[in-house]
Each structure stands twice: as C-alpha cells, then as structure tokens.
Amino acid sequence: MVVLGAVVVGGQLMRSVPREQTLIFPIGSVFPNATRFAASWKQAGDDEPRGGVSLTFDRAPPLQIRERTKLPDGDYIVSIDILQAPQAGETSGSREGLQTNIERRVSLGGGEALIALAVAPREPSDSE
C-alpha cells in the first residue's frame, strides 16, 4: 500500500516538473504576408502567461517558428496575434494591415507540439 502511494505521488510530482517542450508555429506557410507575430501560453487558471515570443519581420516570415521552453506537461492555452501587411488594392482603412487573433488549446507531453494556425475550410452546404 505504501509503495502504491509513493508511485502515485511520484507520478504527480513528475508531471509538475518542467521539461523541454518545443512549440511549432507554421507562420510563413499560413500567413506569408505576416509582419509581426506574438504568442503566449498559460495553463487554465493562470493569471499570467508562463512564456511567450514576439517577432517582427522585415521580409517574408520563416515557414516555421520553433520556440523552445521549459514547462510542466499538461494542457495549455496558446494565444497568438499576427499582423499582416496590407495587400495591394485594399482600402485606405486597412493601411495597417489585417490583425488575426487565434487561441488554441494544446496538450504538452514533452517533445514537439504543432500549433495549428489555419482555420479549416468549411465544406459548402447544399443550400449554398
């Protein structure tokens, strides 16, 4: 009985120990006109993010941003803000470009986690 209790407590402690996690953001393949990228992550119930990254691009962004961090395994909320350069032919009201805000829930368990940035295209319905 004592051994079982030690195993349970040890397992809980191991999950709370920070370990190497790599968050992969496919920015350039989804937002090739991005001029600014910012992301932060926190666990549900956290008041403040546990980490983040903010980048500005003078030219096309890289296909992927790989951000290495040390976090305990678990579920996280990743908040992402992307600013895209205005496109030719856009109205003067969009001079600063298009701001996209994305929130994703991810489960980290050590290793790499791909953070989806694209919204899946919806299938046209029969009424369209």
- Residue 16, pLDDT > 90, answer no
The answer to the question of residue 63 being in a domain is yes
Beta strand 98-108 pairing with 51-56: unpaired
49 within domain boundaries:
yes
pLDDT tens per residue, range 29-76: 999 999 999 999 999 889 999 999 999 999 999 999 999 999 999 999
CATH number, domain with residue 26: 2.60.40
Stronger pLDDT, 16 or 110, i.e. the higher one: 110
Contact 115, 80 (CB under 8 A): yes
Q: Which of 9-18, 53-62, 114-123 comes out lowest in average pLDDT?
A: 9-18
Query: Is position 127 within any domain?
Result: no
Mean per-residue pLDDT, 100-118: 94
Chain mean pLDDT for the chain: 84
The number of folded domains in the chain is 1
| Residue ranges making up the domain that contains 86 | 20-114
The verdict on residue 13 lying in a domain is no
- Identify the pLDDT of residue 60: 94
pTM: 0.76
Torsion region of 96: left, alpha or beta (phi above 0 gives left; psi -120 to 50 gives alpha): alpha
